[in-house]
């Protein structure tokens, strides 16, 4: 019997309570020591052949008969009133099939009480109108023919400036999101700072980081009567369905969202976009399918970003290294249309055992493109500040930075005081330290030249990681066993590039006792009618995986019952392994291939159902890890070269070490980009982004990549779900930047508070240090 439960969901650091319908579980977690046949093996992706052969159809590849191409007109002004929009010349251009603007679009709210096309524009790139035409060249030309009269307004970009009383207001209620800062406090911070022997403090700044998914945001939509079908490059097919259905006032069963493959998302593709509903409006008006995908420039203006942060931190400690007080005040500009923002205070609140902690975070609405979650939002920025300042504390106390962290290790969750379901942080420290050769630190570090007289300085640094990754209900799955003993696993999840299909096939194969190659996995289509969680917040494996195992267990139970009746063997003792049924008949062993039995059964079909059971409420579930970096600084050019990163992470049971190591390497590489090169730049005079492309916005290339050694703390967390697995997508990006910056300090004795750590910043700091020395 299914029952309704209330469950705590932690997505991207935001905790909420949700209702979920769950069934009585059939399975319990595989034991830590249990020998598994398929799960935990380095199995190549089951859809690899599609991805290497051009056979994978991404949403941007979809072409439908009669399809039109659509394009937005965007504001060149960061803030302006829109006085007049004249689309008449665009409408007359041959090949133009529809033009939509505030003159003829619905005024239904889209975001922040604003319609799709409003009376004001609030960032350079804001949507003003859209055109659908026979091809994209005509659509581009038509957009240029739309005449708009703007009344430019003062604009504000800086988060602290936006909160001053005299700042221009983006909305009548002011620029502070929710009208108040987000505050947290435990203990007595003021008193504790007075009792501290040592205090370190600093102002930290992190850059605006762009997701720059290689496939841009976009949708291809088509109406068949009142049924709307959407091919969307999304991390959440059910989220897109719900948003579009709500906006159009359609029942959910009339909106179908399909996404078989996607070219990256990294958090930015968690809902429907304006492009989705505008494509649907244009398709409705023209009676033709419409494709609306952003181009690379638009992707850099209007598809979200990791907001820059300014963080004021202060840490107080006893002479023996015990942390007594920590305080953070953070500012982030969220852009014009954000409804929530990331919390940079998370690491300070959660990582260390410190009794007195206060965080206060101001999220400001500004005249820029909007915030969208980017892989471990807030924690990447917050961990940078916290872990760099922790190293400065270690310097001041003259203790080993790793020892300082171990000393302040939290045995229980610092906020809730609950025990952790499992915690591999100390193991990650130990593994990582061994792999990097932490003991060499004193011999390669500050002041010691690698080549005597040469410009290269070498250093080693490290940083910690904490993140959620629990996953949870609701998520549902079906497992169907066909008459030829082939199997279809069905869920409503989606693969954002992590290898979801493969791990789900592994889980089903393991539970069923059938070969991996007999299993097909169907995901990425709301038509299956099986809700699954968003593929963000390191949610997918630990949310959907357990539901698949439940469904497989249900199917197997039915199958064994049928087989025992058919073969006239006792149900008890009947097993299925490697596709062979084994049992006992009148004291004699019986062995039959499952395919033979199923073949005899005709068109009998077995359908197993499964749902994700709730998480235990008496423990805190987190992922943990540490990264160690070895770097070289060229003190003549200021170039920082990362030589090696050791990434040591505890994500519970490893389901597939091959795809997991890909995820970890990818996280490290994005963290390296954040540390050394990535930064969106906006002209303070015009409010325009100056590098909205892959030429001016630098992401890591093959030649920027260090040796990356992945060390997994592969231990099943048997208390949390029937797999013992936690999420792994976000943890590996979190500690990379502070590990690199701490290694740079080890090399040249300078601690950097501003990212990215570009050569000019390094040279400036070296010059200043030299002057101070004189």
Query: Which residues have a catalytic role annotated?
Result: 730
CB of 43 to another protein, least distance (A): 10
Choose the stretch contacting another protein; rule: CB under 8 A; options: 86-94, 239-247, 341-349, 668-676.
668-676
What is the 3 state secondary structure string of 312-344? Answer: EEEEEECCCCCEEEEEEEEEEECCCCCCCCCCC
Q: Is 213 in the site for another protein (CB under 8 A)?
A: yes
From 333, 341, 497, 735, residue interacting with another protein (rule: CB under 8 A): 497
Distance between CA atoms of 731 and 623, rounded to whole angstroms?
7
CB of 294 to another protein, least distance (A): 12
Q: Is 702 in the site for another protein (CB under 8 A)?
A: yes
Q: Is 95 in the site for another protein (CB under 8 A)?
A: no
Q: Which is nearer to another protein, 298 or 550 (CB)?
A: 298
Cβ atoms of 536 and 236 within 8 Å: the answer is yes
From 21, 24, 34, 44, residue interacting with another protein (rule: CB under 8 A): 44
Distance between CA atoms of 116 and 101, rounded to whole angstroms?
9
- Cis check for the bond before 33: say yes or no (omega within 30 of 0): no
Looking only at residues 247 through 276 of this chain, which bind another protein when binding is defined by CB under 8 A? 261-264, 266
Q: Is 40 in the site for another protein (CB under 8 A)?
A: no
Distance between CA atoms of 156 and 175, rounded to whole angstroms?
10
From 627, 670, 721, 751, residue interacting with another protein (rule: CB under 8 A): 670
Taken in order 441, 446, 447, 451, the sign of the CA dihedral is: positive
Q: Which is nearer to another protein, 350 or 730 (CB)?
A: 730
Q: Is 643 in the site for another protein (CB under 8 A)?
A: no
Q: Is 51 in the site for another protein (CB under 8 A)?
A: yes
From 695, 760, 771, 772, residue interacting with another protein (rule: CB under 8 A): 695
Q: Fill in the per-residue mask, 117 to 136: x = in contact with another protein (CB under 8 A), - = not in contact.
A: ------------------x-
CB of 518 to another protein, least distance (A): 19
Q: Which is nearer to another protein, 159 or 666 (CB)?
A: 666
Q: Which is nearer to another protein, 153 or 694 (CB)?
A: 694
What is the 3 state secondary structure string of 124-169? Answer: CCCEEEEEEECCHHHHHHHHHHCEEEEEECCCCCCHHHHCCCCCCC
End-to-end CA distance of the chain: 78
Q: Is 498 in the site for another protein (CB under 8 A)?
A: yes
| Closest listed residue to residue 447, CA positions, set 649, 743, 746, 200 | 746
Distance between CA atoms of 581 and 139, rounded to whole angstroms?
61
Distance between CA atoms of 309 and 204, rounded to whole angstroms?
8
Q: Which is nearer to another protein, 218 or 341 (CB)?
A: 218
Q: Is 147 in the site for another protein (CB under 8 A)?
A: no
What SS3 class is residue 707?
Answer: strand
From 496, 613, 676, 728, residue interacting with another protein (rule: CB under 8 A): 496
| Closest listed residue to residue 548, CA positions, set 494, 511, 578, 583 | 511
Q: Which is nearer to another protein, 132 or 404 (CB)?
A: 132
CB of 328 to another protein, least distance (A): 29
Choose the stretch contacting another protein; rule: CB under 8 A; options: 152-160, 391-399, 480-488, 687-695.
687-695
DSSP state of 636: T
From 45, 314, 501, 653, residue interacting with another protein (rule: CB under 8 A): 45
CB of 190 to another protein, least distance (A): 44
Pairing mode, strands 476-481 and 182-186: unpaired
Q: Is 144 in the site for another protein (CB under 8 A)?
A: no
Choose the stretch contacting another protein; rule: CB under 8 A; options: 244-252, 396-404, 438-446, 492-500.
492-500
Looking only at residues 287 through 306 of this chain, which bind another protein when binding is defined by CB under 8 A? 295-296
Looking only at residues 499 through 518 of this chain, which bind another protein when binding is defined by CB under 8 A? 499
CB of 707 to another protein, least distance (A): 8
CB of 296 to another protein, least distance (A): 5
CB of 494 to another protein, least distance (A): 12
Q: Is 55 in the site for another protein (CB under 8 A)?
A: yes
What is the 3 state secondary structure string of 42-70? Answer: CCCCCCHHHHHHCCCCCHHHCCCCCCEEE
Q: Burial letters for 368-377: b for 16+ Cβ neighbours within 10 Å, e otherwise? A: bbbbbbbbbb
The residues, ordered by sequence, that sit 6+ positions from 680 with a Cβ below 8 Å of its Cβ are: 207, 208, 209, 210, 300, 305, 689, 691, 692, 697
Q: Is 666 in the site for another protein (CB under 8 A)?
A: yes
Q: Which is nearer to another protein, 15 or 703 (CB)?
A: 703
Q: Which tokens sit at 17?
A: 């309570």
Angle ∠(660,674,642) on CA atoms, nearest 5: 75
C-alpha neighbours within 13 Å on the C-beta side of residue 128: 29
Q: Which is nearer to another protein, 461 or 497 (CB)?
A: 497
Taken in order 565, 568, 571, 576, the sign of the CA dihedral is: negative
Q: Is 65 in the site for another protein (CB under 8 A)?
A: no
Q: Is 54 in the site for another protein (CB under 8 A)?
A: yes
Residue with tokens 């792994």: 728
The residues, ordered by sequence, that sit 6+ positions from 330 with a Cβ below 8 Å of its Cβ are: 309, 310, 311, 312, 344, 345, 359, 360, 361, 362, 382
Q: Is 663 in the site for another protein (CB under 8 A)?
A: yes
Choose the stretch contacting another protein; rule: CB under 8 A; options: 41-49, 164-172, 191-199, 476-484.
41-49
Q: Is 680 in the site for another protein (CB under 8 A)?
A: no
Which DSSP helix (H) or strand (E) runs through 228? strand 227-232
Distance between CA atoms of 627 and 5, rounded to whole angstroms?
38
Task: With CB under 8 A as the rule, give the number of residues binding another protein.
Answer: 54
The residues, ordered by sequence, that sit 6+ positions from 764 with a Cβ below 8 Å of its Cβ are: none
Choose the stretch contacting another protein; rule: CB under 8 A; options: 336-344, 400-408, 618-626, 691-699.
691-699
From 3, 16, 28, 53, residue interacting with another protein (rule: CB under 8 A): 53
From 6, 693, 767, 770, residue interacting with another protein (rule: CB under 8 A): 693
| Closest listed residue to residue 389, CA positions, set 758, 761, 753, 766 | 753
Residues near another protein (CB under 8 A) = 44-45, 48-58, 60-61, 63, 135, 211-215, 261-264, 266, 295-296, 496-499, 658-659, 661-663, 665-670, 693-695, 699-703, 705, 708
């Amino acid at each position: 019997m299914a029952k309704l439960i209330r469950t705590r969901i932690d997505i991207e650091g935001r905790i909420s309570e949700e209702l979920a319908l769950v069934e009585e579980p059939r399975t319990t977690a595989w034991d830590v020591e249990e020998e598994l046949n398929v799960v935990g093996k380095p199995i190549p992706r089951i859809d690899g052949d599609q991805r290497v052969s051009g056979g994978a159809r991404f949403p941007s590849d979809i072409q439908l008969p009669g399809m039109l191409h659509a394009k937005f007109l965007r504001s060149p002004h960061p803030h302006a009133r829109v006085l007049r929009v004249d689309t008449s010349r665009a409408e007359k251009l041959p090949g133009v099939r529809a033009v939509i603007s505030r003159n003829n679009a619905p005024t239904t709210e889209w975001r922040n009480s604003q319609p799709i096309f409003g009376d004001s524009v609030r960032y350079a790139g804001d949507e003003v109108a859209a055109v659908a035409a026979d091809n994209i060249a005509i659509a581009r030309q038509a957009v240029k023919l739309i005449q708009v009269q703007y009344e430019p307004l003062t604009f504000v970009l800086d988060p602290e400036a936006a909160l001053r009383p005299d700042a221009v207001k983006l909305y009548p209620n002011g620029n502070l999101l929710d009208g108040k800062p987000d505050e947290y406090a435990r203990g007595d911070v003021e008193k504790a700072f007075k009792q501290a022997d040592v205090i370190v403090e600093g102002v930290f700044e992190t850059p605006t980081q762009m997701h720059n998914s290689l496939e841009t945001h976009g949708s291809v939509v088509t109406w068949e009567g009142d049924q709307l079908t959407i091919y969307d490059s999304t991390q959440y097919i059910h989220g897109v369905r719900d948003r579009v259905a709500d906006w159009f006032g359609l029942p959910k069963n009339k909106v179908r969202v399909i996404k078989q493959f996607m070219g990256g998302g990294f958090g930015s593709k968690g809902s429907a976009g304006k492009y989705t509903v505008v494509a649907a409006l244009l398709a409705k008006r023209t009676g033709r399918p419409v494709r609306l995908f952003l181009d690379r420039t638009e992707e850099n203006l209007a598809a979200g970003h990791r907001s820059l942060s300014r963080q004021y931190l202060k840490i107080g400690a006893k002479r023996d290294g015990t942390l007594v007080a920590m305080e953070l005040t953070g500012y982030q500009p969220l852009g014009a249309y954000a409804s929530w923002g990331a919390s940079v205070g998370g690491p300070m609140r959660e990582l260390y055992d410190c009794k007195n902690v206060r965080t206060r975070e101001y999220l400001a609405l500004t005249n820029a493109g909007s915030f969208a979650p980017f892989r471990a939002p807030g924690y990447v920025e917050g961990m940078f500040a916290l872990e760099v300042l922790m190293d400065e504390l270690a310097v001041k106390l003259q203790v080993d930075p790793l020892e300082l962290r171990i000393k302040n290790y939290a045995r229980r969750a610092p906020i809730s005081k609950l025990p952790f379901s499992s915690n591999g942080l100390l193991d990650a420290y130990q593994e990582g330290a061994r792999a990097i050769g932490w003991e060499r630190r004193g011999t390669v570090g500050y002041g010691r030249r690698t080549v005597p007289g040469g410009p290269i300085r070498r250093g080693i640094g490290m940083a910690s990681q904490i993140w959620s990754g629990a996953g949870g209900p609701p998520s549902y799955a079906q497992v169907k066993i066909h008459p030829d003993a082939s199997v279809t696993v069905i869920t409503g999840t989606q693969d954002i590039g992590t290898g979801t299909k493969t791990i789900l096939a592994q889980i089903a194969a393991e539970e069923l006792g059938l070969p991996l190659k007999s299993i097909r996995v169907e995901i990425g289509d709301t038509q299956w009618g099986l809700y699954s969680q968003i593929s963000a917040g390191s949610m997918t494996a630990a949310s959907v995986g357990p539901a698949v195992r439940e469904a497989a267990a249900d199917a197997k139970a039915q199958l064994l019952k049928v087989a025992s009746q058919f073969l006239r063997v006792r149900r008890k003792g009947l097993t299925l392994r490697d596709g062979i049924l084994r049992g006992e008949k009148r004291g004699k062993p019986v062995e039959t291939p499952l395919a033979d039995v199923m073949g005899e059964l005709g068109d009998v079909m077995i359908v197993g159902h499964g749902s994700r059971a709730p998480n235990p409420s008496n423990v805190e579930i987190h992922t943990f890890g540490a990264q160690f970096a070895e770097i070289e600084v060229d003190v003549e050019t200021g170039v920082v070269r990362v030589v090696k990163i050791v990434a040591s992470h505890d994500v519970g049971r490893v389901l597939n070490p091959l795809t997991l190591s890909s995820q970890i390497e990818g996280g490290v590489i994005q963290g390296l980009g954040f540390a050394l090169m990535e930064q969106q730049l906006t002209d303070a005079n015009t409010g325009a982004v100056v590098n909205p492309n892959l030429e001016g916005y630098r992401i890591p290339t093959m030649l920027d990549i260090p040796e990356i050694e992945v060390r997994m703390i592969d231990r099943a967390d048997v208390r949390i779900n029937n797999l013992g697995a936690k999420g792994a997508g976000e943890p590996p990006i979190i500690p990379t930047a502070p590990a690199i910056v701490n290694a740079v300090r080890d090399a040249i004795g300078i601690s950097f508070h501003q990212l990215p750590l570009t050569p000019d910043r390094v040279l400036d700091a070296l010059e200043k240090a030299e002057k101070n020395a004189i």
